[in-house]
A and B are shown apart, each in its own frame.
Chain A
Amino acid sequence: MNAPWLESLPLLADGLLITLQVTLLASLVALLLAAAAGLARLSRYAIIRGIATGYVELFRSCSLLVLLFWVYFALPFLGIELSKVTAAVLAIGLNIGAYGAEIVRSSIKAIPSGQHEAGIALNLSPNERMLRIILPQAAARMLPPFGNLLIELLKSTSLVYFITLSDLTYEAMVIRNNYYTWTPQIFGSLLIIYFILSSCVFVTFRLLERKLTAWR
């Protein structure tokens, strides 16, 4: 089988690196935001709850692609100029973080109140209760939905193609311009690469879940 476009595979490898970089950085941003906003939504201070709820509602209701356009193309008019990677990481992180906050909140709320009361009975401080009793149990509940969310994040990194950041999808389009007749093979391979990446995330989270729930 003679497929000349395969000579361009190094380009796809470069794109893969960018995709992985954006995925990793954006998931860090999203995780931090999710933890902060998720905990803040359970705060006893109405103002903190209000701010967190505002963040979650705002960024869950906004279309990610429009947000990305806005951050990259419109923000410079307000004097804030961001690099492509920063804009992508920020937009994806803000968007996925809002969904993650809901996972954090609902997982913590799902812990039976008896656990909380037992912590009080044992005279643990509020911080100890949260860190040593509630969170370890909530974390086990959070894992499967967080795994799904990370797959959503990975998929959404393909949108950086729109701001011409040279990720996997962008490089595939470049290769396609050079080897037009191989279009189906190029996009087919691209789909398979994304599927393999998602499967890696899925398997990793399955293993993590098994580890975190070993005490059960």
Chain B
Amino acid sequence: MWNWDYVNDLLPSLLKAFGVTLGATIAGFLLSIVIGLVFAVAARSSIGPVRWIVRAVVEFIRSTPLLVQLFFLYFSLPMLTPFAMPAFITGIIGLGLHYGTYMSEVFRSGIDAVPTGQWEASTALHLSKRKTWLSVILPQALPPVIPVMGNYLIVIFKETPTLSAITVVELLLTAKSEASITYRVFEPYTLAGLLFLVTSLLFSFGIRLLERRYFGTKQLTGGGKR
């Protein structure tokens, strides 16, 4: 049933592909933070239309599957625009956009938690908008939501196999192609599953530790309720 020799043959290529998975996870996570920040700040713009458009875009992206968004980015964009991007880059942009909308909700909850007095004080001190955001609001809004951001790191990690649909050779696609060579599917898929399982359990253990150490025992929730 379970063949250890086969496992030994499989491991090098699976671990190599796991590197691609981790790379996509980290790049997608960083991009989602940037996009999330832009969305969260733009959703509080003083210009009405900007607010409405950003909220509509966030709602639309949140309500549609990542897989279909990836198909759209990978297959349609090159036909609509002169840009054609490699699959890996498209995958990262897809992850970043999709989870950027979730991230913006997380940041929004952090920004909402900053007392109004801080905004008023900034106005009283005649700080520019830029200075208000960068030196007063964000430094107070971001640290409390770090654990929630960590949870989304795990979510993004678990979503990376979706990128295999646009031919990113990550862990699942490698397991699939190994299986198609030998017709033995049990070991590759089980190993892939275990790698995902162990890594995300380790991640969440780390985040819980960090939360307990730096954020008290208070449970933070963000982006859940609308």
Which residue numbers of A lie inside 8 Å of B, CB to CB? 57-58, 61-67, 69-70, 73-74, 77-78, 144-145, 147-148, 151, 155-159, 161-162, 169, 172-173, 176, 181, 183-184, 187-188, 190-191, 194-195, 198-199, 202
B162 within 8 A of A: yes
Known contacts being A73-B185, A183-B79, is A161 close to B225, with CB within 8 Å? Answer: no
Chain B residues closer than 8 Å to A191, beta-carbon distance = 60, 64, 68-69, 72
B63 within 8 A of A: yes
B76 within 8 A of A: yes
Secondary structure class of chain A's binding surface, majority of residues: helix
B contact residues, total (Cβ < 8 Å): 43
B165 within 8 A of A: yes
B190's partner among A58, A61, A70 (CB-CB below 8 A) is A70
Within 8 A of A (CB), among B78-104: 79-80
Known contacts being A61-B204, A188-B72, is A70 close to B65, with CB within 8 Å? Answer: no
B63's partner among A162, A176, A198 (CB-CB below 8 A) is A198
Known contacts being A63-B161, A65-B161, is A184 close to B76, with CB within 8 Å? Answer: yes
B196's partner among A66, A151, A184 (CB-CB below 8 A) is A66
Docked CA distance A158–B157 (Å)? 18
A144 close to B172 (CB less than 8 A)? no
Could you count the A-B residue pairs with CB atoms below 8 Å apart for me: how many are there? 122
A-B contact pairs, 16 of them (CB 8 A): A58-B197, A61-B154, A61-B197, A61-B201, A63-B158, A65-B172, A69-B176, A77-B1, A145-B225, A148-B225, A158-B68, A159-B65, A159-B67, A169-B68, A187-B76, A191-B72
Within 8 A of A (CB), among B175-226: 175-176, 179, 185-186, 189-190, 192-193, 196-197, 200-201, 204, 224-226
Docked CA distance A162–B175 (Å)? 14
Max chain A CB contacts within 10 Å: which of B60, B67, B76, B200? B67
Chain B residues closer than 8 Å to A67, beta-carbon distance = 193
Docked CA distance A77–B3 (Å)? 13
Give min CB distance, A173 to chain B, whole Å.
8
